[in-house]
Structure 1
Amino acid sequence: MSETCEAANMAMKLGTTLMIKGKIAKDVDRFAINLGEGPEKLGLHFNPRYDQSSIVLNSFDGGWGKEVVVDHLRFARGSEITVIMTFDSDGFKVTLPDLHQITFPNRLGLSQVPYLGVSDGFSITSMKFD
């Protein structure tokens, strides 16, 4: 299962918050929400992994950076969740459904994030920018 939903030309600049609501497939091992300049330049790769009971964050620019593994996977397969992603000068702040926050640095020094990619068993039901 490798369906990807992509949005390009988003107006996500520093200080923007993106609220993504979606449904996680019942039989998925992992899924990804990616933000960046495009599929080959990702400032944030948000990758919950049920097969490892963790959330992995990374960046991609011609190759993967060093993984940041967060031991806080508190949402179930088959559930509908809301994930809030804020892009600011410190980097990316991800607020999980239980309001736990994870911060990931802006390793690529991006000033805007026009690309969103969602793949592998997460279907977006709504998106909102603030």
Structure 2
Amino acid sequence: MSENKMEIYHMEMKTGSTLKLKGKIDGDASWFSINLGSGPGDLALHFNPRFEENVIVCNSQNGGTWEQEHRDDHMCFRPGMEIKLIMTFEEDEFQVKLPDGHQVKFPNRGRHSHLPYFCVKGGIHLTSFKLE
């Protein structure tokens, strides 16, 4: 599997905003991740579906150090699938609405109010990116 990566360093994502993503998961994907934060080593939200473990892992990273993982076993993703995700950034938490309507919630541990960094990598190709 080739690793795809897309990064944005100057995004204007503020509390109360929503990120709508559409994409297609590669047919041979074993994982993909979507990261929001202030930079590559400071992530407020690391959203990581892992197909081999059949789990969605969420975490945060502070100064390059991973914090406590949150695991959600509601895996509705599969390789080859087209997906739509809605990520809402609130003062106290992130809400990720999955393609089947299930919501994964993850705390805004660093109490961030502005997230300039966005990164998607792994076995997914984005077809649409909309910040509202």
TM-score by length of 1: 0.96
The match for 1:16 is 17
Q: Deviations over 1:84-127 (max 9, x none)?
A: 10001121110000110111001122111111100011111001
Q: Deviations over 1:53-104 (max 9, x none)?
A: 0100000112101110001111221111011100011211100001101110
CA distance in 2, matches of 1:15, 1:76: 29
The match for 1:4 is 5
Q: Deviations over 1:16-35 (max 9, x none)?
A: 00001011011111110000
Provide structure 1 residue ranges, at least 5 long, that are not aligned to the other structure. none
The match for 1:94 is 96
The match for 2:56 is 55
The match for 1:119 is 121
Q: How many residues align?
A: 130
The match for 2:84 is 82
Structure 1 stretches of 4+ moved >6 Å: none
RMSD: 0.9
TM-score by length of 2: 0.95
Provide structure 2 residue ranges, at least 5 long, that are not aligned to the other structure. none
Higher strand share: 2
